[in-house]
Homo-oligomer: A and B are copies of this chain.
Amino acid sequence: MSSMIQRFWLNFLNNTRVFKFTNIYKTADIGNNCVIGSYTEIGDKVKIGDNCKIQAKVFIPKGVTIGNNVFIGPCVKFTNDKYPKATGDWKVWETVVEDGASIGAGATIICGVTIRKNSMIGAGAVVTKDVPEGCMVVGVPAVQVDNNWGSL
């Protein structure tokens, strides 16, 4: 299926708007009423819920599951291999982003973590462990600065 036909069907069937130069695997499962920015890659078997806003240049590989109402800023990258090497076997680590979370521009999410409901990841943060519900984390590595973000 060509990229253009895929964009048409996602729009027609799911009311999901897909911008230019995206690379969405046919095996990715994308919900309704989403926006997928330009240059964004969504890999094999990635699952994305409804009403998500995924900005430009985002990288989401196999192993990532995203809930509903999630915001993912431009240039955010997920990973799926904790100890990457060019050669040899490897396994996919799972990462979960729960409903209502927001991930700021350029953040890096190390695989194996769960980002809980209504949390906020600051722009440029490197997330190395689970993020509790409703909390904000910032920095490299990301540390908690606010436990009341979800109620803003």
Contact = CB atoms under 8 A, between A and B. Distances in A.
Interface in A112-132: 120, 122-126
This protein's copies in its complex: 3
Nearest to A71: B86
Interface residues on A, range: 35 or more
Contacts of A38: 23, 41
Contacts of A110: 123
Contacts of A70: 86
Contact of A57 (B57, B139, B140): B57
Contact of A59 (B41, B56, B61, B120): B56
Interface of A: 19-21, 23, 38-39, 41, 51-53, 56-57, 59, 61, 69-71, 73-75, 77-79, 83-87, 100, 102, 104-106, 108, 110, 120, 122-126, 138-141, 152
